[in-house]
Amino acid sequence: MSTETPVLQQHFIGQIVREDLASGKHKVIHTRFPPEPNGYLHLGHAKSICLNYGLATEFAGTCNLRFDDTNPSKEDVEYVDAIQRDVKWLGFEWAELRHASDYFDVFYRSALKLIRLGVAYVDDLSAEEVREYRGTLTEPGRNSPYRDRTIDENLDLFQRMRAGEFADGSKTLRAKIDMTAGNINLRDPALYRVRKVHHQNTGDAWPIYPMYDFAHSLSDALEGITHSLCTLEFEDHRPLYDWCVDKVDLAHDPELWQSLVDAGLPTTPSKPRQIEFSRGNLNYTVMSKRKLITLVSENLVDGWDDPRMPTIAGVRRRGFTAAGIRLFWERVGVSKQNSTIDMSVLEGAVREDLDGVAPRRLAVIDPVKLVITNLDAAHHESLTFPNHPKDESFGTRSVPFSPELWIEREDFAEIPPKGFHRLKPEGEVRLRGVGIVKCDEVIKDANGEVSELRCTLDLESRTGMPGADRKVKGTIHWVSAPDAVPAVVRLYDRLFDAADPDDDSDGKTYKDHINPHSRRVVHAYVEPAAAAAAREDRLQFERLGYFVADMHDHTPGTPVFNRVVTLRDSWAKQA
């Protein structure tokens, strides 16, 4: 695990862990991050990753990565690989890599034990009938007509379920708890269902699969997890979690897990404590895995790593840094109060991290030509620019300069608005690192668009000359036209134009709120040092924002950059 990772310890869970260690309840804490491999991880998962791994790092404990692979019909090896890649990219290493499927034999033996104890039975009700019998929040449920089957009958039926005799959905194994319980999760919940689906790890060995609550609780217990951290929607599931752990009682029944020992999987069962915390919600996005899958499958975005997606793969390709994401979740903290965090807070954390680590480069994303008429057309020189104005350790670079330059179109105004301090007819502006130029002539094309600005350079204002300190109000950046490298620049914005895309009170769905301006592709010019960047190198294009060399499409010969964030929060002005 990363020792450089900011840790979320100043919160109620950190306090619980400190107290448990101080009292001797635990000598070492053991946490886990248990994703389902049915999609890519998103920023909400990053909060859980930072919390679980962060606590283990802070308190010298261990944290497992465990795949909750109990629903093979929705799972894929692609997701397994992506999850491991994302966790590592965030800066964490797991103590052990486990899978719920590692424990299928233990789960099956545990289910047989519950049947023998008389607290589990095989039910023939259909899914629709189960819902009908369950009752409501205000009305108690009714016992299934199959609830009173004998132990021998239940053992026989469950073993035949295991043998693959029954069709999908025809039978379930249910816990026998209380159909009148106020907590609906305790109204005889399903523990196993028949599902003849090929599994990525176990193949066709199992025609039955355990339900989440059963598998998750026993997995935690088998791995000796001390603090099982989950989000608030699982608070009502905690009594069932504890029921499964207590009834199976793995710690006192080693025969149930002897197969793990024989297979070389370290196993020290204990009773874990489930603790709930609030989800990590952000505005202007959706983080329902079902909706993210829809965005991908319906080609509403360009895959899981589309830079507009809230997936870890997406924000990585966008250029967000792992350190910035960790800093963000550290600052947000951990509580039991659900809230939605403004996207600008995340962008601010990423911007803060990038400010210290991103070298500076020159680029022009909406170019118009500026020609210096009092320099010879063949004039060419190299200027020395710092790579980072705040950190000399970044060194310097040579930037080519010639009389033909590209500047930003918005840095010139024929009829300047009030407070405009850049270039205008007969006006002066400082060219970054060069000197002061005056606009003498404006050339337009056949459509009346400005195509060229003809200027004179005050040679006395150049570095080292007597007039170098002459003051003008504006400074603009530029790129030497003969030396500029054409580049594709993708300007990304928020994927949705509504703060809460899930709010359908206006009759619209989240798909109706997709921002049509969330991506704009421009053809820009960059200085040679920018084009030479390696994939995933992050740079600040001076005065424009932070950009990253695209991890798939960028090459030094055909550079492609994604805008990570602007230099300051520009969205607030639009909202």
User: Which of 94, 84, 3, 90 is CA-nearest to residue 43?
Assistant: 90
User: Which of 402, 377, 429 is CA-nearest to residue 525?
Assistant: 402
CB atoms within 10 A of CB 77: 10
Does 70 show up as a binding residue in the annotation? no
DSSP letters spanning 86-99: HHHHTT---S-EEE
Does 231 show up as a binding residue in the annotation? yes
Q: Identify the active-site residue in 18, 36, 109, 142.
A: 36
C-alpha pair distances (Å), 575 with each of 437, 493, 494, 498, 515 = 37, 13, 12, 10, 13
Checking 249-256 for CB contacts under 8 A at 24+ apart, the result is: 250/106, 250/110, 250/218, 250/221, 250/222, 251/221, 253/113, 255/109, 256/106, 256/109, 256/110, 256/113
Q: Identify the active-site residue in 85, 195, 279, 409.
A: 279
Does 374 show up as a binding residue in the annotation? no
Does 37 show up as a binding residue in the annotation? yes
CB atoms within 10 A of CB 137: 7
289 is catalytic: yes
Taking the mean position of all CA atoms in its chain, how far away is CA 423? 41
147 is catalytic: no
Does 289 show up as a binding residue in the annotation? yes
Does 161 show up as a binding residue in the annotation? no
Does 259 show up as a binding residue in the annotation? no
Would you give the DSSP letter of residue 518?
Answer: S
Residue 46 to residue 50: CA distance in whole angstroms: 6
Q: Identify the active-site residue in 134, 171, 289, 317.
A: 289
User: Which of 282, 281, 288, 279 is CA-nearest to residue 509?
Assistant: 288
Would you give the DSSP letter of residue 224?
Answer: T
- Half-sphere exposure (Cβ direction) of 503: Cα atoms closer than 13 Å: 9
User: Which of 130, 234, 218 is CA-nearest to residue 179?
Assistant: 130
Does 38 show up as a binding residue in the annotation? yes
Does 473 show up as a binding residue in the annotation? no
Does 153 show up as a binding residue in the annotation? no
Does 3 show up as a binding residue in the annotation? no
Does 36 show up as a binding residue in the annotation? yes
C-alpha pair distances (Å), 124 with each of 26, 87, 169, 170, 426 = 43, 41, 9, 6, 88
Sign, CA dihedral 311-5-545-489, equals negative
430 is catalytic: no
Does 47 show up as a binding residue in the annotation? yes
- Binding positions for ATP: 36-38, 42-48, 231, 287-289
- Binding positions for L-glutamine: 68, 212
Catalytic residue list? 36, 279, 289
- Binding positions: 36-38, 42-48, 68, 212, 231, 287-289
